[in-house]
A = this chain, B = another copy of it.
Amino acid sequence: MRIEVICTGDEVLTGKIVNTNFSYITQKLEDFGLSVRWETTVGDDREDLLLAFQLAGQRADAVIVNGGLGPTVDDLSQEIAAKAAGVDLALSEEWLAKMESYFARRSRVMPPNNRKQAMLPAGAEVLDNPVGTACGFAVNIGKARFFFTPGVPRELRRMLEDQIVPRLLAKTGAHTAIYLKRFHSYGIGESHADALLAGVEALAPDGGVKLGFRAHYPQLETKLTVRGSDMNDIHRKLAPVEKEVRQRLGNFVLAEDDRTLEGVVLAELQNRGATLTVVETFTSGQIAARIGPLPGAENVVRRGIVAREFREVCAAVGFEGAIPDEITRETAEAIACAAQRTTGSTHAMAVLIDLDEGADRIEFAGTVCLAIATSSDVASRRSRIVGGRDWVRLGAVEMGLDCLRRFLQGLPVRERIDFEKAEEPAKT
């Protein structure tokens, strides 16, 4: 089945907004084993919209059109859809009633120009939008089934998942269920993960499991797309592969599916009634900022401390003793222990960074020394991250959070990662 996407709107065409709707649509379809073959973006222009609809209708079996369903004069999708389909616009009493009740529930009167949103090509199939007033619909143009969706991301997502994906899957004729299993990791590059996981697809009885990756530094997402006759069949196929992936990626798996690294760290701390202090230098608050705003973090994040001068770090955590000349694992341990004692939190992490001198450049590196302390235990790690100021900063934030996860989960804090220049030997 050949699928195309048409994105409409001057804001996207002029780059006022980056087209994240398209990447969302195509990723979501990929997750269900469907591929987008061609994408077209045109503005709010009658002539270009008509041509885009006609061309796609000649080439494709299914077309998803995004945008242009709003109430204003520059929203042209229904009008041009009707023209391209060779039918008139007709009022959908069903959708008009739905909109009126939508406004009534919010104690508001529907403005007259919203009526335009209930004008659909005659004979169109309505695609429900439970979270907005833009009515989705499907019509045939040329040899393709066209699905019209709203430009508001929240409304698009709901409609795509609930209304369009099932129709596309039915259109493929394959009566299969699809499931996406995801693993998030930090410290393994995409090609390394690909090599580590060689052959795992073959472990599924009767096949049906496809391995894929999505890299967004510093994290890597490993995806298993599973097709089966139903969810039981899917779980039967997935189980041995899932287990093997979890085992081969091992300690590097920081979260699965919709969970996040900061969410896992927060949950681990909450589970033991723990509190946290974070001491930062070059990352300047970015580690604390990943956990701090999460719901529930108000009872966990006791204190965050930022200082760029090492002398000031010492003062802020009440470190007593001679101030060391250079940053080492031992220094980080001393700072983390002092921070834990001073603030009375159960856990304290210090992430100290010794940055290279000079201008930013691709070889620019930073040496990270980090330590995690409780009243009775301390663990630490040293690493050199290369790749420019931003790369060092992003890497250090992720390494700090991931080491904290490892510490809380009883895993080794020191394990070689692909993004460091080779861990230097401990000085102890």
User: Residues of A with Cβ closer than 8 Å to B?
Assistant: 13-20, 22-27, 30, 35-43, 45, 48, 52, 55, 214, 278, 280, 282-289, 291-293, 295, 297-299, 301-309, 312, 316, 343, 360, 389, 393
Apart from A38-B48, A303-B305, A304-B304, 11 more pairs, CB < 8 Å: A16-B27, A18-B19, A39-B40, A282-B293, A283-B293, A289-B289, A292-B306, A298-B308, A301-B307, A305-B305, A305-B306
Report how far A193 CA is from B52 CA in the complex, Å.
35
Q: How far is the CB of A62 from chain B (nearest CB, A)?
A: 16
Tell me which residues across on chain B come within 8 A of A284, comparing CB atoms.
285, 288-289, 291-293, 297, 301, 304
Q: How far is the CB of A154 from chain B (nearest CB, A)?
A: 11
Q: Which of B16, B24, B37, B283 contacts A289 (CB 8 A)?
A: B283
Q: Are B312 and A285 in contact (CB under 8 A)?
A: no
Q: Are A309 and B302 in contact (CB under 8 A)?
A: yes
Q: Are A307 and B316 in contact (CB under 8 A)?
A: no
Q: Which of B27, B295, B308 contacts A301 (CB 8 A)?
A: B308
Q: Are A22 and B15 in contact (CB under 8 A)?
A: yes
Q: State the main secondary structure of chain A at its contact with B.
A: mixed
Q: For the complex formed by this chain, how many copies does it contain in all?
A: 2
Q: How far is the CB of A155 from chain B (nearest CB, A)?
A: 14
Tell me which residues across on chain B come within 8 A of A25, comparing CB atoms.
15
A38 and B41 contact, Cβ closer than 8 Å, known pairs A282-B293, A289-B289, A306-B303 = yes
Give the top 4 A-B pairs by smallest Cβ distance, nearest first. A284-B292, A285-B285, A304-B306, A15-B23
Report which residue of A40, A284, A292 has the largest number of chain B beta carbons within 10 angstroms of its beta carbon. A284
Report how far A178 CA is from B33 CA in the complex, Å.
47
Report 10 cross-chain contacts, Cβ distance below 8 Å, ordered by A residue.
A17-B23, A37-B42, A41-B41, A284-B285, A284-B301, A292-B308, A301-B306, A302-B309, A304-B307, A305-B306
A18 and B15 contact, Cβ closer than 8 Å, known pairs A285-B288, A297-B308, A298-B308 = no
Q: Are B19 and A15 in contact (CB under 8 A)?
A: no
Report which residue of A14, A36, A293 has the largest number of chain B beta carbons within 10 angstroms of its beta carbon. A293
Q: How far is the CB of A280 from chain B (nearest CB, A)?
A: 7
Q: Are A307 and B303 in contact (CB under 8 A)?
A: yes
Report which residue of A35, A280, A292 has the largest number of chain B beta carbons within 10 angstroms of its beta carbon. A292
Tell me which residues across on chain B come within 8 A of A52, comparing CB atoms.
38
Tell me which residues across on chain B come within 8 A of A307, comparing CB atoms.
301-304
Report how far A36 CA is from B38 CA in the complex, Å.
18
Q: Are B48 and A43 in contact (CB under 8 A)?
A: no
Tell me which residues across on chain B come within 8 A of A393, comparing CB atoms.
293
Chain B: CB-nearest residue to A302:
B312
Q: Which of B27, B41, B45, B304 contacts A14 (CB 8 A)?
A: B27
Tell me which residues across on chain B come within 8 A of A36, comparing CB atoms.
13-14
Q: How far is the CB of A34 from chain B (nearest CB, A)?
A: 11
Report how far A41 CA is from B42 CA in the complex, Å.
12
Tell me which residues across on chain B come within 8 A of A18, comparing CB atoms.
18-20, 23
Tell me which residues across on chain B come within 8 A of A20, comparing CB atoms.
18
Report how far A292 CA is from B302 CA in the complex, Å.
21
Q: Which of B26, B38, B292, B295 contacts A40 (CB 8 A)?
A: B38
Chain B: CB-nearest residue to A16:
B214
Tell me which residues across on chain B come within 8 A of A309, comparing CB atoms.
298, 302
Q: How far is the CB of A395 from chain B (nearest CB, A)?
A: 13
Report how far A316 CA is from B317 CA in the complex, Å.
10
